[in-house]
Amino acid sequence: MMFKLKPAFKDYLWGGTKLKTDFGFESELDKLAEGWMLSCHKDGESIVDSGEFKGKTLSEYIGIKGKSVLGSNAEGYDFFPILIKLIDAKDNLSVQVHPDNEYALRVEGEYGKTECWYILDCDEGAELIYGFKKKIDADEFKRRIADGSFLEVVNRVKVKKGDFFFIEAGTLHAIGKGILLCEIQQNSNTTYRVYDYDRVDKYGNRRPLHTEKAIDVTVCDRPKYGTQPAEPPVPFGSGTSQLLTECRLFRVERLTVDTSAEIIPDSSSFISLIITDGEGEITDGSETLKIKKGDSIFVEAGSPKITLTGKADIIKTNV
């Protein structure tokens, strides 16, 4: 079985309107900072948008069908394992860090957050913060936060369309203004802000910082992972497949389809397909869905072979 998902939207103060203008999403919110394209998180669930379960939340569908639809790789989780977002940063996001599982479970009661970013588009000169220029210790980090100089030692990276970043829990980071990206992450919403540019929300309030927790969990070193996809593109039907990352949490590929291609699901994992550009159709032999830029497709573990036709760019994720 496969079906479309309707995202949950967030209107954070740094967000823009590209998810409306470029992706065609409809919402009463003025800003669409994030679209939660695949989510079972309590802070914003995806809604089934086609087929017999249309109108139900993704977690309600799983509750009815059973966890077997997620595949054997998800059996060890007592929760849905990942969360996928589209993020439109019209302004800078806060400089922040996420805890690992051990700290987050002990302090926050949910799992930690390792994530990765695929840059879909960006303004010329756009940049993000990714770790530190050099290794520093926790005492220096704490001192620099206190005296306002820690931005002097962060690692700023110019970005371009197609760049990829793996953000391991504990890595200081920030998405810069003018960046549109797809984020694949652990199913967590725990964020510790270190700096927020002294901004205020629409009510005149500054968003809270989490300095002490950030000091607890930040790894004060350069990131351990490079900024390029894991492998070069390989043939995939009429197009290509490029492995972006493969770790114990998720496997992410970028697929390009020029006319047609096939995906063969297995019983190990469900598959998420986020259509980031183009349009076409997807069929499993018994059902056919029209797809376009901005669609999120969920494919059950063990589903029949699916065929993609048309011309499209797709982010494919499984666990």
- 257-285 in b/e form (b: 16+ CB < 10 A) is beeebebebeeebbbbbbbbbbebebebe
Give me the active site residues, please: 193
The backbone torsions φ and ψ at residue 24, rounded to the nearest 5 degrees and listed phi first, read 80, 15
Question: How would DSSP label each residue in 279-298?
Answer: EEEEE-SS-EEEEETT-EEE
Cα distances from 19 to residues 5, 37, 113, 245, in angstroms, run: 15, 12, 24, 25
Radius of gyration of the chain (CA): 20
Smallest CA-to-CA distance from 294 within 92, 79, 5 is with 5
Cβ(133)–Cβ(116) below 8 Å = no
Query: What is the three-class DSSP state of 150?
Result: helix
Reported as half-sphere exposure (CB side, CA atoms, 13 A), residue 37 has a value of: 28
Q: How far apart are CA 234 and CA 166, in angstroms?
A: 21
The backbone torsions φ and ψ at residue 262, rounded to the nearest 5 degrees and listed phi first, read -125, 145
Cβ(153)–Cβ(134) below 8 Å = yes
